[in-house]
Amino acid sequence: MNLPQSSFPRVVIIGGGFAGLAAAKGLENQELQVVLVDKHNYHTFQPLLYQVATGGLEPDSIAFPLRKRFNDVKNFFFRLAEVVQIHPDKKIIETSIGNLDYDELIIATGSTTNFFGNENIQKNTMEMKSVPQALDIRSLVLENFEEALLTDNLEERNALMNFVIVGGGPTGVELAGALAEMKKGILPKDYPDLDIRKMQINLIQSSAEILKGMSSEASEKAEDFLIGLGVNVWKNLRVLNYDNKIVTTNGEDHFRAETVIWAAGVKGEIVSGLNSSCVIEKAERYKVNEFNQVENHDNIYAIGDVACMKSETNPYGHPMMAQPAIQQGKLVAKNIIAKLFGKKTKAFVYNDKGSMATIGRNKAVVDLPKWKFQGVFAWFVWMFVHLFSLIGFRNKAIVFLNWVYNYVRFDRETRLIIRPFKKKNIV
């Protein structure tokens, strides 16, 4: 893979998400050679993907070039590649651009959409874990509105304007809210010859409440907000199938819809090579000890979404969110350095800073460890935290400018079909 010779041990990090980036940062300018491998040349700020999907932000403002982040770091190397397999016996990873040997390996591959084995759903629904996927949703939503204009068949038109979002977690809730705001402020102006009242946004949640991981105050308020925005919230309803026409459920309701977004589950993005039965946890995550070491492999760490560290407070592992990923990335870097200098390593303790979700303009819910609040102030806190967490001054400035513009003008201006999803031949 053409890396410079080095007498220092080599740490390979797979994945430039929150976890991988935090680890790489922690290993800067140490007596180590750090190689970051990712299939994209940019870091994706996943919490804002839903705004890309709904035309509120340009994709380039939530992506940050990984090479640039480490421009001045001498011991850092980036390689654009997909990892095919890990060979722990030979201490090698096999990638699309060749083999790479490691002394320490950090797996930070994150998570991918979990379709729970349903091939129809996997084939026919949209997912939203990457920038291209978010752009596909943006294109599809707009293409469906253009198509709705053309048909005289009322059922077909309604199906084109029917949006089903499966999964009432933060992704589903935020996407449903953003679509509802498009329905309110933008689509009636863009499509004056369509009856936008016919547009339906259905959020389907299999359990008894949305935002399950948050407080009941947050769940209830979020539901109120969504209903206020005109979203149909379906609880205790499980989607069984989608054949590209009809969403069938375990209840009496079914939905004829052209756009179905699957936000009902994620699973660890497991790399083959370590998957002996004992290392895979429920939802396919690597079982790790309190030092994030993968079971039976002292020099292989899994961090972030792909890691499942059981503890008394988190019997099913930590939530698959940015915070645990960042904290684990930082600690693993420290522990690797400690190991290098023969010092003592530290066990991971999750510092739960709380969680939040936004539903729309002036509407968010925030759970802090000692304080829960909802509404306008929560919305400003949400914006501030997200703006602050973005990488790079330019991205922060562009997102801020867009938010101010969208707030003042009640607008979401990047409703562009740059790469059509349905008619892929248009250039």
Site string for a copy of itself, 91-130 (x = CB under 8 A): ------xx-------------------------------x
Candidate segments 148-156, 202-210, 311-319, 320-328, binder of a copy of itself by CB under 8 A: 148-156
Residue 249 dihedral angles phi and psi, to the nearest 5°: -130, 175
183 lines the binding site for a copy of itself (CB under 8 A): no
CA 365 to chain centre: 19
Stretch binding a copy of itself (CB under 8 A), from 206-214, 325-333, 379-387, 400-408 = 400-408
Q: Is 68 in the site for a copy of itself (CB under 8 A)?
A: yes
Measured CA angle at 322 (ends 320, 328), to 5 deg: 85
Which 3 state secondary structure label does DSSP give 301?
strand
How many residues bind to a copy of itself according to rule CB under 8 A?
60
* List of residues 6+ apart from 17 with CB closer than 8 A: 43, 44, 46, 108, 110, 304, 305, 325
CB of 153 to a copy of itself, least distance (A): 11
**Is 376 among the residues that bind a copy of itself (CB under 8 A)?**
no
Where b means 16+ CB within 10 Å and e means fewer, 107-138 reads bbbbbbbbbeebeebeebbbbbbbbebbbbbb
Strand, helix or coil at 99?
A: strand
For residues 126 and 290, the answer to whether their CB atoms sit within 8 Å is: no
Q: Is 418 in the site for a copy of itself (CB under 8 A)?
A: yes
Which of 39, 235, 310, 339 touches a copy of itself (CB under 8 A)? 39
Looking at the Cβ atoms of 291 and 421, the one nearer to a copy of itself is 421
Beta strand 307-308 with 111-113 is: unpaired
Q: Does 417 help bind a copy of itself (rule: CB under 8 A)?
A: yes
Task: Report how far Cα 416 is from the mean position of its chain's Cα atoms.
Answer: 22
Q: How many angstroms separate the CA atoms of 364 and 225, rounded?
A: 9
Binding of a copy of itself by 84 (CB under 8 A): no
When asked if residue 137 is in the footprint of a copy of itself (CB under 8 A), the reply is no
What type of residue is 408?
V
Our finding on whether 80 is near a copy of itself (CB under 8 A) is: yes
> Closer CB to a copy of itself, residue 162 or residue 402?
402
Cβ neighbours of residue 373 closer than 8 Å, sequence gap 6 or more? 365, 366
- The binder of a copy of itself chosen from 9, 28, 60, 94 (CB under 8 A): 60
Q: Which two tokens stand for residue 393?
A: 């001054």
- Chain residues that interact with a copy of itself, rule: CB under 8 A: 1-4, 39-42, 58-61, 63-65, 67-68, 71-72, 77, 79-80, 82, 97-98, 130-133, 135, 142-143, 146, 149-152, 189-191, 193, 392-395, 397-398, 401-402, 405, 411, 413-419, 426-427
